[in-house]
Structure 1
Amino acid sequence: MHRPTILLAASTTLLAFGWVKVADWKRVDPSEALFNRLGHMAGQMEVLSRNVDRLSDEIRVLHTQRPGLEADELLGRIDELDAEVLGRYSGLAQTVDANASLVQAAGRDLSELHDQLLPGSNHLWQGLLAPTVQLASPMTVGSGVLMPTREDGPVRVLTAWHVVRDILADGGDGHSEVPLHIYRHDGVTLNAKAKLLAYENDLDSCLLELVGEHADLEGTSLPTRAHLANVQVFDPVYAVGCPLGSDPVPSHGAISALDHWVDGQSYWMINAPTFIGNSGGGVFDARNLCLLGIVSKLYTHGARRTVVPHMGLVTPLGDIYDWLERSGYGELIPQ
């Protein structure tokens, strides 16, 4: 709308300039031919003046119609926006439908992956119960963990020293072998004996070796030191042992402390329930079932020494690795 206004101003200026020239020419040259020529030019200027006036009238009309024209243009723009929004909404609806299909497909894939990654009962039995043994005498009961087995190699058992110490004491002088029970998946219980290889009183750790031939035993899986260094509070675990002399029993929980000090020794604490008879049993990573430590102590409370099952103290496997190296059994530690 600004362009016609500018043109009008320019035309008016030319007209004024033209009339000045006409007046000047009338005074300068009085000849008839010149007057005829100037008269013709004056007629043309009058036509131009009328055209300019008409244009001015049309522009004034346009100015009076401007609000209506802008509203029409606005309505047209609104219609365009409506069409654009509708198009975008249709595209969004198609995208939502496509994403819904993707979510459903991802849900199916996740369910399949969950079934693949979540250990089944057989896998859990092999990783948790098969390596767990019971150590027992008429007065003492505890647990132990079969170390990884090697073809034609000796079978070692990792346990708590106080369990072995008490069992040997129960047997009297000259008693040097520890009776234990090994459990098979088919329900058969094997009776065996083990001899003492090494122990550490402060660490409450002990290494035994089975006496005689023992084939097809399922040893535990040992983690690397790097894996142990990444263990954190809240990591899920299984505690497996033989509470009150029962067959191996698993319980589930988490690491609740990584530096709990008792009598000058640092332990891990777990909230997976443990009880009398769990001592010497294993604490396993619930994600890959590798051994993380050995149950050493249980908290008790009150005059009756009531066991607090969710505050079990565990000797971490990293400390046991250090002791095994010092004792000459470093070959048992995975690299």
Structure 2
Amino acid sequence: MAASHFQYFLFLVLVTLATLIVIPTTHAKLSPNYYNKVCPKALTIIRSVVKKAIIRENRIGASLLRLHFHDCFVNGCDASILLDDTPSFLGEKTAFPNNNSLRGFDVVDEIKAAVDKACKRPVVSCADVLAVAARDSVTILGGQQYWYQVLLGRRDARNASWDAANNNLPPPFFNFTQLVALFQAHGLNLKDLVVLSGGHTIGATHCGVFRDRIYNDTNIDPIFAANLRNICPKVGGDTNLAPLDSTPNRFDTVFYTSLMSKKGLFHSDQELFKGNGSASDKLVQLYSRNPYAFAAAFGPSMIKMGNINPLTGINGEIRSSCRKVNNF
């Protein structure tokens, strides 16, 4: 067997074993086959709309992945991130980690409308739309090696929390200890932290998010910092964009290579690699040189994150509009 064929075969074995290991530990009421009978077209419709949206604008794939992440880290994967403010609660969209930075709400609306039309009624939850759209974005931008089975059957929250969003989402200035503690509080370990941070291999972010790093951090490549200062002045230009790595429209492992060169755009990302031989360093090194290992790890960590406190059974609801609760 040729070396490249053997590597691919090994990758398939790793994916299979990882899936077998992870899925039995997830929430028992979620299933990859949840919509097979009630709406067998659902997943195909979601992928079709996501693909069209990414063709219109590559950056939207990163935005959809981020929506799922920011949803799950706040009171579980329940689509609370999508709710607009109401007289009874201040939603998550204007929380500090989300305000003027989260995108893709219009694409979620488009997906929801298309899938409800195909299913002839609202049977697919907004929370499941986010989970599937995140997976589809990754596979469209990175290739089939990043495909994984999404467990389905989540229901949608009837409220949201501005305070919870501020308290549960990792800001870009967190240090390593803070990151590990936050992920552990959500049932995620060090490997999950390093793997899920790899989602920063796609997309871009505003100057205001990384300004402090390029002017004050020492664990940063000086030429990299100097180039970014041309985009991001000390004062002003807060909404100027910089790519998260050098291939922002491709889901790959360049993010990890960048960390090893001290070119992580976020302080929090660079905290994953300090060159001190730590367990985190070793994971970054592994994924930078072995894309098969990263691909095999990414799906299981996404499944694990996607099972943070889902609403199932009679809890929550299936929203007709992802932006507001039913009968509002």
Under a length normalisation based on structure 2, what TM-score does the superposition of the two structures give? 0.21
State the structure with bigger RCO (CA 8 A, min sep 6), 1 or 2: 2
Under a length normalisation based on structure 1, what TM-score does the superposition of the two structures give? 0.21
Larger relative helix fraction: 2
Structure with bigger gyration radius: 1
